[in-house]
Amino acid sequence: MMNTKKSTHQNIMDTAQKLIQRKGFNAFSYADIAKELDIKTSSIHYYFPSKTDLGLELMKRYRKTIQEVLEQVDQSELGSREKLQEYLQAYQSIFSEDGRICLCVMLSSDIITLEDSIQQEVKLFLQLNLDWLAKTLEEGVKCNAFNCHADTHAEASLFLSTLIGSMLLARANPKSLSFHQIGQVLYDKYTLHD
Amino acid sequence: MMNTKKSTHQNIMDTAQKLIQRKGFNAFSYADIAKELDIKTSSIHYYFPSKTDLGLELMKRYRKTIQEVLEQVDQSELGSREKLQEYLQAYQSIFSEDGRICLCVMLSSDIITLEDSIQQEVKLFLQLNLDWLAKTLEEGVKCNAFNCHADTHAEASLFLSTLIGSMLLARANPKSLSFHQIGQVLYDKYTLHD
DNA sequence: GTCTATACACAGATAGAC
DNA sequence: GTCTATCTGTGTATAGAC
């Protein structure tokens, strides 16, 4: 019989990620995790000696996850538009009604207070997204799939900015469009011709 | 002779705003302000009994500032495109190379950890921006100034999202386009026709 | 108004028993 | 591995002298 119980290590990472996605890196504490998992803070230090260690491992896992998603999409037979749709879908599954937004967005806003190792990991994650977006837009522009400027590098920055900002805006001001709706409008802008 | 010395009250607000724009609401402390102004933390409590009081006053002042800018732009004889340009310019003057980004963006990312009074003030600020953008886009669409969808409410959310996200992206990943450049691409997208 | 002194809670982190 | 116990620093905040 398969052991379905998650390891303490994994429980800590999952709980920490959820807390950062809600409160931010500087606002969550080891005590928060300990309380939620009914363990002691010293047990967390056993797995993650410092808070930076924990944050760093979280970002690395997070990057691997998106990396795998992007590779799977690239290996598929999907068209450029469908690839972009899948990309948006990946972020929409991260965004949660309980206030969770993209881990990397939260760390980006705390970026100045983070140790260099985490800063580098955040940069890597963002660059990974930018490169994939530029490549995918480039590919789509060639076969006329996208209503988009030829400078795909610039377009990628614009696209990612919109995605990042829409999570913050939708959470902070429920009267604006929802994150899902903004994603839809964004997608339409790139696929519908006048 | 005019007394050019700023009041302690104002010094505290200016320093606190700068610190939040860099580090975020939860990462800055009264001790940070005290150190920078060479005063004691108890002096800060004299003007702002609690950290929430300070944050709230800052957001109120910040909102008034943008409100005045928007009113001045509205009272001018500028066309819709120039109005949008002025709007972007206002945010570009906030963004600073030393890591400062929009106060409201920083508070938006910490939104869940803030007391309700500040949350409301953040919402007000965002809604003020959305309403002005929707109105201005609406006005421009009528005279064919903007290359933009008829649903100006949705377009406003999209536009503001891009602005918010580009500050975070540009600061966290210097390899992406700069905030200024993203603003330019954004403006072009709305004003240039294919 | 600004200071000294201090209270109190909580943060991240470590040593060592079990 | 997980715990108890503890250390040390820092956080917000207050009382009261000057």
pLDDT at site A120: 98
CA gap B72, B49 in Å, rounded: 34
Longest dimension (CA), chain A: 60
Query: Among positive and negative, which fits the CA dihedral B86, A155, A178, B139?
Result: positive
| A129-147 pLDDT, tens digit each | 999 999 999 999 999 999 9
Residue A89 inside a domain? The answer is: yes
A contacts of B194 (beta carbons < 8 Å)? 147, 194
pLDDT at site B150: 82
Residue B20 inside a domain? The answer is: no
Residue B115 inside a domain? The answer is: yes
Number of domains in chain A: 1
B contacts of A162 (beta carbons < 8 Å)? 158, 161-162, 165
pLDDT at site A151: 95
Report residue B22: phi and psi, to 5°. Answer: -90, -55
Candidates A63, A144, A149, A173, partner chain B, best to mutate (most B CBs within 10 A): A173
Residue A90 sits at the vertex; the CA angle it makes with A86 and A91, to the nearest 5 degrees, is: 125
- Type of residue numbered A46: Y
Q: In this structure, is the CB of residue A165 within 7 Å of any atom belonging to strand C?
A: no
Residues 125-184 of B with CB under 8 A from A: 126-127, 130, 147, 149, 151, 153-155, 157-158, 160-166, 168-169, 171-173, 175-177, 181-182
B contacts of A161 (beta carbons < 8 Å)? 161-166, 168-169, 182
Residues 48-107 of A with CB under 8 A from B: 99, 105-107
Question: How far lies B123's CA from each of A161, B127, B134, in Å?
Answer: 20, 6, 16
CA gap A106, A194 in Å, rounded: 36
What CATH number does the domain containing A109 carry? 1.10.357.10
pLDDT at site A2: 62
Q: Which domain holds residue B153?
A: 56-191
**B161–A165: do the CB atoms touch at under 8 Å?**
yes
Residue B147 inside a domain? The answer is: yes
pLDDT at site A192: 83
Residue A121 inside a domain? The answer is: yes
Q: Which of B24, B164, B176 sits opposite A169 (nearest CB)?
A: B164
CA gap B14, B33 in Å, rounded: 10
Using CA coordinates, name the residue in chain A closest to B108.
Answer: A172
Contacts of A150 (CB under 8 A, 6+ apart): A141
Using CA coordinates, name the residue in chain A closest to B129.
Answer: A176
Question: How far lies A23's CA from each of A148, B82, B116, B132, in Å?
Answer: 36, 38, 15, 30
Residue B18 inside a domain? The answer is: no
| A109-130 pLDDT, tens digit each | 999 999 999 999 999 999 999 9
**B149–A27: do the CB atoms touch at under 8 Å?**
no
pLDDT-derived band at B54, boundaries 50, 70, 90: very high
Candidates A123, A161, A166, A187, partner chain B, best to mutate (most B CBs within 10 A): A161
The closest nt to A45, taking CA to C1', is C13
Candidates A21, A88, A158, A190, partner chain B, best to mutate (most B CBs within 10 A): A158
Q: State the average pLDDT over residues B89-116.
A: 97
A contacts of B105 (beta carbons < 8 Å)? 109, 168
Contacts of A130 (CB under 8 A, 6+ apart): A153, A156, A157, A160, B173, B175, B176
pLDDT at site A3: 63
CB half-sphere exposure, B5, CA atoms < 13 A: 2
| B125-159 pLDDT, tens digit each | 999 999 999 999 999 999 999 999 889 999 999 99
**B173–A113: do the CB atoms touch at under 8 Å?**
no
pLDDT at site A194: 56
Question: Could you tell me if A8 and A47 are in contact, meaning their C-beta atoms sit under 8 angstroms apart?
Answer: yes
Residue A60 inside a domain? The answer is: yes
Mean pLDDT (chain B) is: 96
Residue A142 inside a domain? The answer is: yes
Nucleotide C1's nearest residue (CA vs C1') is B43
Which residues of B spanning 44-83 put their CB closer than 7 angstroms to strand C?
Answer: 46-47
Segment-wise mean pLDDT, segments of 10 residues, chain A, 194 residues: 82 98 98 98 98 98 98 97 98 95 98 98 98 98 91 97 98 97 97 76
CA gap A27, A20 in Å, rounded: 8
Q: Is the pLDDT of residue B194 over 60?
A: no
CA gap A159, B182 in Å, rounded: 10
Give the pTM. 0.97
Using CA coordinates, name the residue in chain A closest to B192.
Answer: A149
Q: State the average pLDDT over residues B31-50.
A: 98
In whole angstroms, C16 C1' to B46 CA is 45
Element (H, E) at B71: helix B51-75
